[in-house]
Amino acid sequence: MGRHAEAIAEGVAIANAAARLAIRNHILVETIGNDEPYDPERERKFARETVLSLAAEQQDAAERTHRWRKRAWGKFSESYGTHDYRDRDTRNLRRRERQYAGVAKELRRMADDPEVIDELIEKARDAAWGDVEANLQRRLRVEGAHPELDPDYETMREARMQALRLVDLAKLAAHQRRRREHVSELAEELADGVEGA
């Protein structure tokens, strides 16, 4: 892999992490903050828009770099600041422009690939669950250790039970559903293998 391809891959990886974080936050806000059920279609739409927005940012950066390069061409005096480019900077600016454009192109391709979007959502959802799970474990250790010392124990019991129903049981159901799907896929592969033998 050449330096240009490596730079694009690195830019895509950074954008991917940013998208995952935005999707994770969106899941948390919608399901916990707004008390909405998890909706895969809503998350697919949000994820695609997020990736396209990141692609637009990269395209804007490419266009801005292009303008800087055009202005720098033929200037041979000393520069006066960070973005006061000169002719000697045009080669580097051209390389950066191509890299920004390459990242934008790859992000647009990702946004149009349902499998990539679903994988991004799944990773974001796992991260969201990890946040919720860690928070619950931390709270359960504190609250579960000495309920007799907590004057709000009975008052907060309903909230804890609701969190159990909305979070823990939903995760368990999703886990069971994934296991059933995996078993079905394995059974289909096995059946295909038997028929082909």
For residue 56, what are the domain limits? 3-120
The reply to whether 84 falls in a domain is yes
The reply to whether 31 falls in a domain is yes
pLDDT digits (tens, 9 = 90+) for 16-71: 999 999 999 999 999 888 889 999 999 999 999 999 999 999 999 999 999 999 99
The reply to whether 140 falls in a domain is no
pTM of the model: 0.68
pLDDT digits (tens, 9 = 90+) for 120-177: 999 999 999 998 888 888 777 755 546 666 677 777 777 878 887 788 878 877 877 8
Secondary structure in 3-state letters for 145-162: HCHHHCCCHHHHHHHHHH
Please state the domain count of the chain.
Answer: 1
